[in-house]
Amino acid sequence: MKLKDIMVREVVTVSPEESTASAARRMREKSVGCLVVILDKAIKGIVTDRDLLACLGESHDPRDCKISTHMSRPVIVERPEEELLRAAEIMAERRIKRLPVVERGELVGLVSFSDISRIMAEQAQAYGSMWASVTRLIRAENLRHRSTKPSSAPAP
């Protein structure tokens, strides 16, 4: 499975010059946990709910604090054609929870570690169900084979 198969295509973005208060409102309105920071179609950073809390934790006024001050960078990005497992490895190695997906230099989607975890759990469950069915079929076939096999016991 590839990132293009599971990525969220409607990515919520923010300008580096916007205030953290504005970004927090947008996160709440859109029910998202992160915003990709874009300037002239280029990804400049990513800001999460934790990054916004840093502004408050440092006793800054969120109306005066710019996103560029608290965004994470550099941003690790991937292609839509990247395999899901490879993306999961990258995210684990880099300790990131969100991965912007870029094609020809433009943001086209976003994948979160929870998206990948959910898909992998669903696949594992599907494989588990499939193997349980195969095991039942093999057992049934073995029983059928034993019951139709002539006895090898010597005749009296």
Tell whether 70 is covered by a domain: yes
Output phi, psi for 105, to 5 deg: 80, 0
Single out the residue of 31, 36, 43 nearest to residue 110, CA to CA. 36
Bigger pLDDT: 55 vs 32: 32
- Domain of residue 80, CATH code: 3.10.580.10
Bigger pLDDT: 133 vs 65: 65
Tell whether 128 is covered by a domain: no
pLDDT in tens, 57-111: 777 788 888 999 889 999 999 999 999 999 999 999 999 999 999 999 999 999 9
Tell whether 138 is covered by a domain: no
Least confident of 14-18, 36-40, 49-53: 49-53
Domain count, the chain: 1
pLDDT averaged over every residue in the chain: 87
Report which DSSP code applies to 72.
B
Q: Answer for the pair 68, 17: CB distance below 8 angstroms, yes or no.
A: yes
User: In the structure encoding, which two tokens stand for residue 21, read together?
Assistant: 């208060």
Output phi, psi for 44, to 5 deg: -105, -20
Bigger pLDDT: 148 vs 67: 67
User: In the structure encoding, which two tokens stand for residue 127, read together?
Assistant: 């494989």
Tell whether 61 is covered by a domain: yes
Domain holding 99, by residue range, is: 3-112
